[in-house]
Structures are given as structure tokens and as C-alpha cells.
Amino acid sequence: MLPDNVNFSAETLSNYSRNTFRIEPNSSTTAKAGRVIQLSLPENSILDMKSFRMMFNVKTSKGTVSAGDVLGLLPANIESLIAGVEIFVNGVQVTQSTNEYNTICKVLKLSQYNQDAQMTSGVLVNHAKMVSTLNGVTASEIFGTTQAGEGENGDMCIDNWSNFLGTGATRFLPTDILGSITIRLTLASDAVLSGALVNGDADADALNTPITSPSYVISDPYFTIDSCILPDAYNELLRMRLSQDEYLPLNYKEYYTFIASGLKGSQYSNRFALSSGCIDSLYAVQRLDSHNVFGAATTLNPTTGARAPLGAVGALSEGKFFTYKTFKAAADYEDGLFRYYWNVNNVQMPQFQATNKYAMANVPFSANKLTPRTQGILCSSETAFCQGQAVYSAMLSHPDLSIRVQSGLNSRGINSQFYFTGLGLDTTQISTGMSSVVVVATTAQMRISAGRQISVIF
């Protein structure tokens, strides 16, 4: 055997070509919160699903508080404007219409994304960093003359998708075999926006008593995707497989959310049941019940207080809608009384009451980002974690395997019960009510049979 770096070889992929196509939605050219945008992908094509992008313009409108006008600010990560994604392949629904698609994206990004990508291509393309302050800036210079009295605006792009559109085991999909692919996107409520007074900060207390809230509208949405032409051998291979095998399998990620609200005690359990052929991981976050009411953003990098010199890198603030806290009384660098654990079919995970620091260590571990060769994560300080990015995870699948392999918990055919338990919460912080949100990551399988017959095993 010779190593690759001393080997002389060359190969050619002949008769290959690709091009990019623009897709217009079937709906109107403008849309506000709660509206649905629907489109269909090209048929009889080989589509590069990693190239699928949504392009649009967004404008915010001001709100008001007693102190004056509140200029609208867009959330970090522009996919936060999407509340729901439904996908139909040849008339068969392949996603479960999960609530809060934007929450799922935010929770997953905390561990699966890294600061290098987030603060470079993320800021460039996806509005990965929200505006934290208008103090010392002129609104007309950053928002433009026509929007100076309203708020943030601009042309945006969504190019990463946390479902069938972006997580398939096969990147290139032949729609001549699958059939039509229809996508329905539901826009999020105006509550995902933040705001700031002129020359004020996004975390000012005055923002917590709004008279009217900022809003947004998107206009001229369109989509792009690459289509490829592969050698004839590819089509011959697919048709041979369909004639010899019962079906072609396609694994992809599917997510579920379970929410328990109105929690005010020092301990709670969020119980749920799920039947799935492959449960890969569990994530839990805690937020105020009033998260969907406009209010002040959360500072992730305070200049005073516990370990302030060791500040967070990257994003400096998080919008109220996406603030996930520990709600513990102790300082951010101490575990205090807070403990948590999961329970899967009456088996506790871990086999002890885990601490807050254990949860911090689990953030990179759950994404298989192990030192020293690691890409890093988005949570970059104890304060950032405790005050706005606290996620409690458990891994149920085997690491280092591709999505082609289903190694997670199979809960089909049995009455599988799960719950997440939190203990030692500071009740003074949740006197108005807290919600526990559990995100379950699973691997579903689409089965493609001859005659464009589609079935899905969730």
C-alpha cells in the first residue's frame, strides 16, 4: 500500500454540468407574521439540496413605550423568522409540522455551530448577530434614511435548514424518481423581534412595558437551487436498484418539540411520549412564559459582574424570545442548588442528578466536538450559558456514524415514556411562569419505490 500523498492518479467525471434556477413562490410578493409561503421545486431534475436558499427583503416597523419610539431589530440568525416548515414529496408529508422551527434551529446551533462560521459567513449571509445597541450611532446611517424612524431592514438569505431540506443522507435528489416536492413555510410572530430606543440599548428595562410592539414584513421572496446533469450511468444505476430492490432508502433528520408551561415551583418534570424508529438525542431549555411578549433582550457579555473580564466572544445579546436561562440563584460560575436529569423508560440519564457545569460540558460532547481537535461551539462563557444559552442535552445514538446509520433508541411498538426533571430553581425568577421546552432529534427514513411511491418511517 502507498499513501495517497505519494500516489499519481487522475480521474474524470464526464458529461457533468450544473446550473442554478430561481423559483418564485405561489403566494403574494409580501408577507407578514403568520403568513404562509408555498413553493414547488423543479421536477425531472437532480437537485443539490445543499444549494437551496431563500432570498427576501425584510423591513421592521417601530413600536412604542412610554419613553418614546422603539426601533425594530431583527433576531440573530434570520431563519428565526420561520416558525414552521412543511414538506410534501409527491403528496406525502415527510415532516411532522413541528411547532417552533426557529426554536429548534436555535437550540441545535448552540452545540452544532461554531464561532468561526457564525461570526464570518453567518454574519455575512444569515444575520447571525443581532444589533445590541443604538447608543452612539445615527439611525439613518445603519438603517437608511427611509427606515431611520422604523428600524432594521435589508436583503436576507437563509441557506441552512434543520430538516429534510438540509440533513438528508443523500445530498442530490432525483425528482424524476421522487416526484414533486412542495414546501410550505409559516412566518414567525412579531415577538421574535427585539428593539431599542434611539441612542438606547436592546436590553433596556424600559422595553419591558411596551405600548405597541415592533413588527416586520418581508417582500419579494424567491428561492434558488442548483440542478445537475450526471452521466447516463447514474440513471441506469437508479433504475436497476428500483427493479432489484423493494425501495431506495433516504435517511434524514426529523425533530419534535414538547412544551410544559406555567411552571412556578422549585422543581418540575416535563413528561412526554414518542414513538420513533431512531431517537438520536434530547435537548431541554427553560424560558419565561412571557417569551412571546415583546421585551428587552438579554446581555450575553456584561461589562460588570461575575467574571466580566472573561467575556463571551461572538454574539453580545440574545432576543427575549430566544433567551434560555438556568433560573438558579447561584452565581454563573457556581452550580448552586440546580440539578437535572432525564428519564427514558424509567431509566435515569445520567445515573445521578447532574449539575449546571456538567450541562456545560455536555454541549460540545452532544455534538461530538471533542478536544483537542474540535471546531468549538457558540456558548463561550458561563454567563452566556446561564443567562441566555442554557441547554441540557442527552445523547442516545452512537457517535462518529453518518446519518446513513440509524443507531439511536428505537421506541416503536412500545409505550415509551420520557421526562426531563429540573430541581433547585430560584422561584423568584419564575414567579410569572416558566416553560420547559424539549427538542427531540430523530432520524426518519423515506422509502422510494417504483412509480414514485413514497412512504416514510418516522
Is residue 10 domain-resident?
Answer: no
DSSP state of 102: H
Domain housing 181: 15-457
Contacts of residue 192, defined as CB under 8 A and 6 or more positions apart, other chains included, come to 75, 80, 81, 102, 319, 321, 322
Report yes or no on 6 lying in a domain: no
Residue 389 inside a domain? The answer is: yes
C-alpha cell at 407: 443507531
pLDDT means per 10 residues, the chain with 458 residues, are 83 90 92 95 94 97 95 96 96 86 96 90 94 91 92 96 93 93 96 95 95 97 96 89 92 96 97 95 97 95 70 84 96 94 96 97 91 82 93 95 94 89 97 97 95 92
Phi, psi of 283 (to 5 degrees): -135, 140
Integer Cα distance of 201 and 67 in angstroms: 13
In this structure, is residue 4 part of a structural domain?
no
CA distance 88 to 40: 9
User: Position of cell 446581555?
Assistant: 299
CATH at residue 135: 2.70.9.10
Report if residue 240 sits inside a domain.
yes
- Predicted structure pTM score: 0.94
**Which pLDDT does position 251 carry in this prediction?**
97
Domain presence at residue 9: no
The answer as to whether 5 is a domain residue is: no
The number of domains in the chain is 1
Cα-based angle 202, 207, 212 (whole degrees, multiple of 5): 120
pLDDT given at position 455: 94
What per-residue confidence (pLDDT) applies to 414? 82
Q: Identify the CA nearest to 177 among candidates 223, 226, 253, 237.
A: 237
Calculate helix-pair angle for 101-112, 356-366, nearest 10 degrees.
90
